[in-house]
Amino acid sequence: MLIFREVEDFIAVTRAGLTLLSTYQADSSDDQRLVQLQRLASYIKSMEWLKHEAAKKRISVFLACQYDYRLAAQKLGIQIDQMHKSISYANKRLSGRIRGVLTLMKEGRWADAELEFQRLIGSHRPFEPFICGTVDRFKPRKSSTVNLIDCRREIEVIAHFTKRKLENILSTVDGVAMSHVLHILLSADPRYIAERLLLSQCIISGELKPEQVIGAIETNQHYSLSGTNIVHL
């Protein structure tokens, strides 16, 4: 089945009474699924997925003729076999682009389909899920020497530095306590000089572990930046 017809049939099944892809219009009150389908239909009609103007015209006429090869060929003044070749080429090209999106929609995975569609049309921001700076060191690049099943550690690391992961972690802390810690660490409050040095050694330089900071405070002892000298409160 032609991908054009497949999309149209799926729209018709999803919304009773819908018949022609070329005449389908959705409004803001429609179910979100239908809005997604309308955007997919609009993408097809835009012909952005084709390069040559002649090919775009042939597909446009073909859709307007409701998949009638002979009628479309007559309107364009070309042989019917030329029409078949043009449609076959366009069908393969479009199917290669939207097949994944359409399959996800048919499986009811509408959120996944939307994400894939955003990637397709170039409006998806691929680095948006990650904490700023996380993936700056690694340019996305396919490798024929790497098998994904051998990338467990890499997957674990990438998953650890997402905004979702950060939000999950931040949801476990006391907001007032977090603000207090940040005040001591980032301000110039003279009342917390010793504590600020400890926090800097733990959070900024990584010289101390959190339990060492707490232990030093509990025993009224503060380590210097070198971690060797002790300053008593």
Residue 71 lies in a domain: yes
10-residue averages of pLDDT along the chain (233 residues): 92 65 48 84 91 92 94 94 94 94 92 87 72 80 92 90 89 94 92 91 93 86 44 42
114 and 192 in one domain?
A: no
* pLDDT on residue 118: 85
* pLDDT on residue 12: 86
206 and 100 in one domain?
A: no
Residue 49 lies in a domain: yes
Residue 164 lies in a domain: no
Tokens standing for 136?
Answer: 């700056």
* pLDDT on residue 141: 86
Domain that holds residue 24: 3-121
Closest CA to 123 of 52, 47, 39, 44: 39
Strands 230-232 and 221-223: antiparallel
Residue where the block lists tokens 């015209």: 57
* pLDDT on residue 16: 61
Residue 154 lies in a domain: no
* pLDDT on residue 233: 44
Give the chain's domain count: 2
Cut 0.85: pTM above it: no
* pLDDT on residue 230: 41
Q: Which of 95, 121, 147 is the last residue of a domain?
A: 121
* pLDDT on residue 126: 67
**Which of 22-56 are b and which e, b meaning 16 or more Cβ less than 10 Å from the residue's Cβ?**
eebebeeeeeebbebbbebbebbeebebbeeeebb
Residue 191 lies in a domain: yes
Residue 144 lies in a domain: no
Distances (CA, A) of 102 to 54, 97, 106, 110: 26, 10, 6, 10
Question: Among the residues of the chain, which ranges form H helices?
Answer: 3-14, 32-46, 53-64, 69-76, 80-106, 110-121, 152-160, 163-170, 175-186, 193-199, 210-218
181 and 116 in one domain?
A: no
Find the length of the chain: 233
Residue 84 lies in a domain: yes
Q: Which one-letter amino acid corresponds to residue 134? A: T
